[in-house]
Chains A and B, each alone.
Chain A
Amino acid sequence: MNLRTSLHDKKAKHEKVLSCFLTAGYPTREATVPLAKAIARGGADLIELGVPFSDPLADGPVIQRSSLRALREGTTLPWVLDITSELTAELSIPILLMGYLNPMLAYGAERLLKAAKEKGVAALIIPDLPIDEETDLWNQAAEMGIPLVPFVSPTTARERFAMIDRKAKAFVYAVSITGVTGARKSLPTEVEMYLKELTQNIKAPTLVGFGISNPDEAARMAKHADGIIVGSALLSQIDEKGGIDENCQRVERFVREIKKAITCLSPTGENK
Chain B
Amino acid sequence: MSVVTTNNNSRHQPDRRGHFGPYGGRYVPETLMSALNDLDVAFRTAWRDRIFRQKLNEELANFAGRPTPLYAVENLSEELGYPVFLKREDLLHTGAHKINNALGQALLAQRLSKKRIVAETGAGQHGVAVATVCARFGLEAVVYMGVKDMERQAPNVSRMKLLGAEVIPVENGTQTLKDATSQAIRDWVTNVRTTFYLLGSVVGPHPYPMMVRQFQRVIGEETRRELRRREINASVLIACVGGGSNAIGFFYPFLQDDMQLYGVEAAGEGIATEHHAATLSAGRPGVLHGSYSYLLQNDDGQVSEAHSVSAGLDYPGVGPEHSFLRDTGRVRYVSVTDEEALQAARNLCRYEGILPALEPAHALGYLRYLDKKEIGDGAVVVCLSGRGDKDLQAFIEG
Contact in complex: B172, A64 (CB < 8 Å): yes
Contact in complex: A102, B2 (CB < 8 Å): no
Task: Provide the residues of chain B in CB contact with A109, threshold 8 Å.
Answer: 1
Contact in complex: A178, B192 (CB < 8 Å): yes
**Which residues of A come within 8 Å of B, CB atoms?**
53-55, 57-58, 60, 64, 68, 71, 76-77, 100-107, 109, 127-130, 132-137, 150-157, 160, 175, 178-180
Could you give 27 example pairs across A and B, Cβ below 8 Å? A54-B173, A54-B302, A54-B303, A55-B288, A55-B303, A77-B300, A102-B288, A102-B297, A102-B301, A105-B287, A107-B300, A128-B28, A130-B28, A133-B2, A133-B27, A134-B2, A136-B3, A153-B31, A154-B31, A155-B33, A156-B31, A156-B33, A157-B37, A175-B31, A178-B192, A178-B193, A179-B189
Task: Provide the residues of chain B in CB contact with A154, threshold 8 Å.
Answer: 31
- Expressed in whole angstroms, the minimum distance between the Cβ of B98 and any Cβ of chain A is 23
Which residues in window 30-84 of B have CB below 8 A to A?
A: 30-35, 37
Contact in complex: B30, A102 (CB < 8 Å): no
Q: Knowing A102-B295, A136-B1 are in contact, say whether A107-B30 is a contact too (CB < 8 A).
A: no
Name B26's contact: one of A77, A133, A135 (CB within 8 Å): A133
Task: Provide the residues of chain A in CB contact with B35, threshold 8 Å.
Answer: 155
Task: Provide the residues of chain A in CB contact with B284, threshold 8 Å.
Answer: 106
Complex Cα spacing A68 to B2, Å: 29
Interface-forming stretch among B107-115, B178-186, B347-355? B178-186
Name B30's contact: one of A136, A137, A156, A180 (CB within 8 Å): A156
Name A55's contact: one of B32, B178, B189, B300 (CB within 8 Å): B178
How extensive is the interface on chain B, given as a class?
35 or more
Task: Provide the residues of chain B in CB contact with A178, threshold 8 Å.
Answer: 31, 189-193
- Expressed in whole angstroms, the minimum distance between the Cβ of A177 and any Cβ of chain B is 8
Complex Cα spacing A150 to B29, Å: 10
Task: Provide the residues of chain B in CB contact with A137, threshold 8 Å.
Answer: 1
Contact in complex: B189, A130 (CB < 8 Å): no
Which residues in window 362-380 of B have CB below 8 A to A?
A: none
Contact in complex: A106, B192 (CB < 8 Å): no
Complex Cα spacing A100 to B284, Å: 17
Contact in complex: B178, A153 (CB < 8 Å): no
Contact in complex: A103, B301 (CB < 8 Å): yes
Which partner residue on chain B sits nearest A75 by CB separation? B300
Which partner residue on chain A sits nearest B29 by CB separation? A58
- The verdict on B289 contacting chain A, using a C-beta distance below 8 Å, is yes
Task: Provide the residues of chain B in CB contact with A105, threshold 8 Å.
Answer: 1, 286-287, 301
20 other A-B residue contacts (CB within 8 Å) besides A68-B173, A151-B30, A156-B34: A54-B173, A57-B29, A57-B290, A100-B287, A102-B288, A103-B302, A105-B1, A105-B286, A105-B287, A127-B29, A132-B17, A133-B25, A133-B27, A134-B1, A150-B30, A153-B31, A155-B193, A160-B33, A178-B190, A179-B31
Which residues in window 291-305 of B have CB below 8 A to A?
A: 295, 297, 299-303
